[in-house]
Amino acid sequence: MRHLIGIAAALVISTSAALAHQLNVFAYVEDGVVIVESRFSNGNLPRLGEVSVLDGQGEALMLLPLTEDGTARFPLDPAHAETGLLIEVRTGEGHDNYWILTPEDIARGSGS
């Protein structure tokens, strides 16, 4: 029985540790610029990282570094306003996550 309790406790601790370092990604459009923000669930900013931008069909468009404040910015190509963008962030700490910027999100941020 103690062995099972020990295994259960180890699972809870390892699950908590994994959740403590979840990477959160958010992207939006402001004045024709796509702004990507990333931070860990504990509030810390990623130290290293890169942002992959893909079009609505999954074609790679660009690869950008994260800045020291956990962000990346790039001009919105109007050609992608109708298909949306997939924005993936990978950190030097081995975490990754993504944000789908829908055509509706782009229209809202572009004032359309």
36, β-bridge pairs: 27, 72
The dihedral built from the CA positions of residue 81, 86, 91 and 95, taken in this order, carries a sign that is: positive
**Residue-range domains of the chain with CATH:** 23-110 (2.60.40.3580)
pTM here?
Answer: 0.78
Tokens standing for residue 58: 């999954």
Q: Is 109 in a helix, a strand, or coil? A: helix
Say which amino acid occupies 4. Answer: L
Q: What is the pLDDT along the chain (112 residues), one digit of tens a residue?
A: 444 444 444 444 444 444 446 999 999 999 999 999 999 999 999 988 999 999 989 999 999 999 999 999 999 999 998 899 999 999 977 899 999 999 999 988 765 5
Say which amino acid occupies 19. Answer: L
Say which amino acid occupies 65. Answer: P
Region of 11 on the Ramachandran plot (φ > 0 left; ψ -120 to 50 alpha; else beta): alpha
The dihedral built from the CA positions of residue 11, 14, 15 and 16, taken in this order, carries a sign that is: positive
